[in-house]
Structure 1
């Protein structure tokens, strides 16, 4: 993500019991334009043989 702009924080989501990654994370970028560009460029890109889903996180309803 740093390739596309400043990263303020990253929260890697892990399983409570095994402490292994669940395969997703939340990344905060302070600049909205940089974040939008990162989403545009990375959504659907392949990482470790799997396509990534990169989108804006929305609050639960």
Structure 2
């Protein structure tokens, strides 16, 4: 079952691909989306990453929580 945790405190320059590549280190990423400002097209500072399993999502959250 897929799990989609939120990701916060992203840099304004972060895009979908950068987010995906970073989180692929922790498991199989099905999707990665950075929420963007519709006018500037820059990151609003948060996004979502969909992992293939609960275990992969938990590993990612544990290893990246409070990291820059």
TM-score (norm 2): 0.64
* Gap regions ≥5 residues in structure 1: 47-61
1:42 paired residue number? 64
Aligned residues: CA RMSD:
0.7
2:33 paired residue number? 11
Structure 1 or 2, whichever has the larger Rg, is 1
For 2:49 and 2:42, locate their aligned partners in 1 and report how far apart those are by CA, in whole Å: 18
After the TM superposition, which parts of structure 1 deviate over 3 Å for at least 4 consecutive aligned residues?
A: none
* Gap regions ≥5 residues in structure 2: 1-22
Instruction: Between the two structures, name the one with larger relative contact order (CA 8 Å, sep ≥ 6).
Output: 2
Which protein is richer in helix relative to its size?
Answer: 2
- In the alignment of these two chains, the number of paired residues is 46
For 2:44 and 2:50, locate their aligned partners in 1 and report how far apart those are by CA, in whole Å: 18
Offset of residue 5 of structure 1: 0.4
Pairing 1:22–2:44 present: yes
